[in-house]
Structure 1
């Protein structure tokens, strides 16, 4: 707890210093300080520069929430494919690499190390023998 407190304290100090520095710079340039502008315009301007990080964070949140619904392999495949598409790297090479990596992850963690996740809701709709197979390897 002390390490986190120390880290957050240092972050707060340097963030306050940077905010004061930016405010002084804007006053010298004849503009209104950041805190006196329209808050909505300021928020949109700040979020625009972090668009990729925000979209990736939202996709990761959806990925985590979809794991118990559709399973590890389909959720991971969709997540990685969408990230590849957003980064304009979606081609046959990266798609094959994604599939190969997913198969290797399943073999390593499910078969070799025996790390299991809870049963998936989607697989409960399948017949029993297919649901057991899907819960084991997908």
Structure 2
């Protein structure tokens, strides 16, 4: 089952070349992640109660087709990788134009941060169920964590 959202693009998403500005693609990918978490009981308010938040280590965007002013887009999100305790994760987002053509692919690699200690942390157990329900890419892999040197 895919997790996808269709968006009406807005004027501020576009640049003087009359196509979607490069950072708008990443903004829509982030919005899809937030909406997925919210739909599964992890609203911004819930994150605040838990003193935890998602952070990105890497964000990689590949562009394939232009999106023009006035076009609506569909953004699909899948889980590409996750560690056993859900400490680290990798999402793949695909952005499609109105014709259904793949316009961009965004891959993000991240983790969770304890907002009080300002250190990486493992999320509560309820996150495991949420991640189990995420659609997975065909190349989904478990992420192995490196042990800290003592």
- TM-score, structure 1 normalization: 0.26
The structure with more strand, counted as a fraction of residues: 2
Higher relative contact order (CA closer than 8 Å, sequence separation 6+): 2
Greater C-alpha Rg? 1
TM-score (norm 2): 0.25
